[in-house]
Amino acid sequence: MQIKWLGHACFLIVGEGARVVTDPFNEEVGYPLPAVEADVVTVSHEHFDHNYVRAVKGRPQVVREPGEHNAGAVKIKGLPTFHDGSEGALRGNNTVFVIELDGLRVCHLGDLGHLLDAGQLKEVGPVDVLLVPVGGMFTVDAKAAARLVADIKPAVAVPMHYATAAIKLPIAPVQDFTGHFERVTEKDVLEVTKGNLPAPTEIVVLKLAGTD
């Protein structure tokens, strides 16, 4: 499996027989519009920086709701959560997606605005790769994101939804999050198999990628 970061909370996950894009964004966010083809698109919530499905080429199956979803080689479980710490009163609902492909489990937290309780952690289950928002303001902040990593215990955690030179949102830089950890690496592309998963958890900061 390969995972590329296309900016903000948008990733391209490429496995054998399937390409998945998470939370495609409108270019008003500040990043170049990702030109990418996919079989499946997940949308964690209906905000412009996460639901710009028309940016994705092909005829993908779009998954927007909690529940169990089958899309060819991909199995997806959506878990209902909130976009804030007030049970959705401020920013509404959010769906956490667990994506199963190539025998690996990738968890995309979307714009999660709170920690997960014991029941929610059980629903998420074991995670190989965690895609976690870290920028605060609209999501959990760096400290809470680090707590989520500790609670979920993935093999790899990849930060997302943080400030860069391109972004036009008032969120914090990734360094606020990575400063909580000792094992931090930077990569162009994350390549994972069941046989090369690190232990303990490794934090991988992905560079903004093309879509080849």
Distance, CA of 156 to CA of 90 (rounded, Å): 31
**What is the share, in percent, of the chain residues with pLDDT greater than 90?**
81
Report the candidate in 8, 62, 67 with the shortest Cα–Cα distance to residue 53: 62
Cα–Cα distance, 181 to 128 (Å, whole number): 18
- Token pair recorded at residue 30: 């500040």
Nearest by Cα to 110 from 76, 140, 133: 133
- Nearest CA among 36, 80, 69 for reference residue 54: 36
Comparing C-alpha atoms, which of 103, 109, 102 is closest to residue 123?
109
Classified by CATH at the fold level, domain 2-206 comes out as Metallo-beta-lactamase; Chain A (3.60.15)
Alpha carbons 133 and 174: distance in angstroms, whole number:
10
Confidence of residue 89 (pLDDT cuts 50, 70, 90): low
Burial of 119 (0-12, 13-18, 19+ CB in 10 A): exposed
Q: Is the pLDDT of residue 39 over 90?
A: yes
Is the distance from CB of 207 to CB of 187 less than 8 angstroms? yes
Closest CA relative to residue 126, chosen from 106, 148, 150 = 106
pLDDT above 60: residue 211: no
- CA dist 196 and 118 (Å) reads 28
Confidence of residue 210 (pLDDT cuts 50, 70, 90): low
Query: Residue 131, class by beta-carbon neighbours within 10 Å (0-12 exposed, 13-18 middle, 19+ buried)?
Result: buried
Residue 169's pLDDT is: 87
Predicted confidence at residue 48, as pLDDT, reads 80
Can you give the pTM of this predicted structure? 0.95
Residue entry with tokens 């993935």 = 154
